[in-house]
Chains A and B, each alone.
Chain A
Amino acid sequence: MADATLQHNAAAAHGVAGEYEAPLFGAYSKKVGMWLFLASDSLTFGALLFAFSYNRIYTAWPTPFGKESIINATIMTACLLSSSLTMVMAVFAAQRHDSSKTRLWLLATMVFGTAFIVLHGMEWTHLIHEGLSLPAFPKPAGQLDTEYAKISKGVPQFAATFFGLTAMHMLHVTIGVIYLGVVALRKWFLPILGVIYIGAYFAIPADNVFHYAVHALLIGLIVSAVILFLKPKDYDAHDVEVSGLYWHFVDLVWMFIFPLVYLMSTKI
């Protein structure tokens, strides 16, 4: 390995033909690496969606989602689709080396992503308040006799697949927003993320599941800080394009979760 590297360096120094052998996939290594990660991640979501579909066919599936939930989920979908468009604009701006526009488009993408998370969080809170729950969740006050409480008891797969799939996706969106924040603002993003974490921790009541889930932001803050301090750099067009690949993947996954989880459970 070391010999090969030395030979390569020697060849590069002397301008020997073949020093820059064209990569097999015609793309830089970061991009190939991200594609391979996304391929593996798609199998994770694929397995979860297959398990959901299996349950959906096998079980007499409840259909509790009314107009309010469907409208909310449709707005969330529009947010993600719009964020993909702003992400494309960020990549174009980065290719033109227009750093201020790149930053603005990345921030717009983050705004749409954050709107998605907030809307999803409100939806979760509403459903949990109505009685849809998992054993691990904090229990709302009082004994509930609602439709959702009956579903949680009678068809536990419904709550398990709903919260499992959407939590996995929400985590990916959160990681995506942090990733874009690091690319757009670098070290300036760390104090912002810290303030958001502390604010969210104290603003969300202790009986809300997001009071605990918000610690994902702290983990994101620590990981981002380690990366930014160990390898400080100005992120270039390649980095913006690779972060865009991740962001579009998050959008792509939702295109399956939204119809399967929400529309297949619409109240008739």
Chain B
Amino acid sequence: MHDVAKHDDSKGQYFWVWGALLFLTAVEVWLGYRQVFEPVRMLQVLLLLSVIKSALIIGYFMHLKFEKAIMRWMLVISVTGCFVIMYFFFFPDADRVKPPPSGVGIGQKS
């Protein structure tokens, strides 16, 4: 019988992870509100920070870090593979179409 995932039961590390997640959120808010980068670069930076945050949540809060290697790799590779396929499906087309001038939406005159 396999029991509930056993791992390092020190609660301190979860408070650290929680603090790190709040800190990264504060960094995101600062970057977003100050508009530090242009939109495409901002999208990339925010996505990178989100991936770091999601890795902390999956690894620690969801305990995947403490599961068997085969389960870790099966889940990570399969989901990441699907996202990579989605990326190649969507974004070459996004580059093909040039955006209209800033501040003008589709259907509006410039």
Contacts and interface: CB of A to CB of B under 8 A. Distances in A.
B25 A27 contact: no
Interchain residue pairs A-B with the least CB separation, the first 7: A263-B32, A155-B105, A26-B68, A154-B105, A259-B46, A25-B71, A255-B53
B99 A264 contact: no
A108 to B, nearest CB: 14
B86 A252 contact: no
A54 B90 contact: yes
A99 interface: no
Contacts of A110: none
A263 B105 contact: no
Nearest to B110: A60
Interface of B: 1-2, 4-5, 9, 11, 14-15, 18, 21-22, 25, 28-29, 31-33, 35, 39-40, 42-43, 46-47, 49-50, 53-54, 57-58, 61-63, 67-68, 70-71, 74-75, 78-79, 82-83, 86-87, 89-91, 93-94, 97, 99-108
B43 A264 contact: yes
Contact of A25 (B18, B62, B70): B70
Interface stretch (A39-47, A133-141, A196-204, A206-214): A39-47
Interface residues of A, number: 67
A50 B75 CA distance: 20
A264 B79 CA distance: 25
Interface in A90-116: 91-92, 94-95
Interface of A is mostly: helix
A184 interface: no
Interface string A225-261: 0000000000001100100110011011001101110
A188 B2 CA distance: 30
A152 B71 CA distance: 44
Given A25-B70, A62-B105, A252 B94 contact: no
Contacts of B1: 20
Contacts of A125: none
A252 B105 contact: no
A268 B11 CA distance: 40
A59 interface: yes
A85 B11 CA distance: 10
A145 to B, nearest CB: 15
B70 A24 contact: yes
Nearest to A151: B105
Contacts of A70: 29, 32-33
Given A47-B86, A81-B22, A241 B4 contact: yes
A237 B4 contact: yes
A238 B2 CA distance: 10
16 contacts: A26-B68, A39-B79, A60-B103, A60-B104, A70-B33, A81-B18, A84-B57, A84-B61, A85-B15, A88-B14, A91-B4, A154-B107, A238-B4, A244-B62, A248-B62, A263-B33
A156 to B, nearest CB: 8
Given A78-B25, A252-B58, A264-B46, A85 B101 contact: no
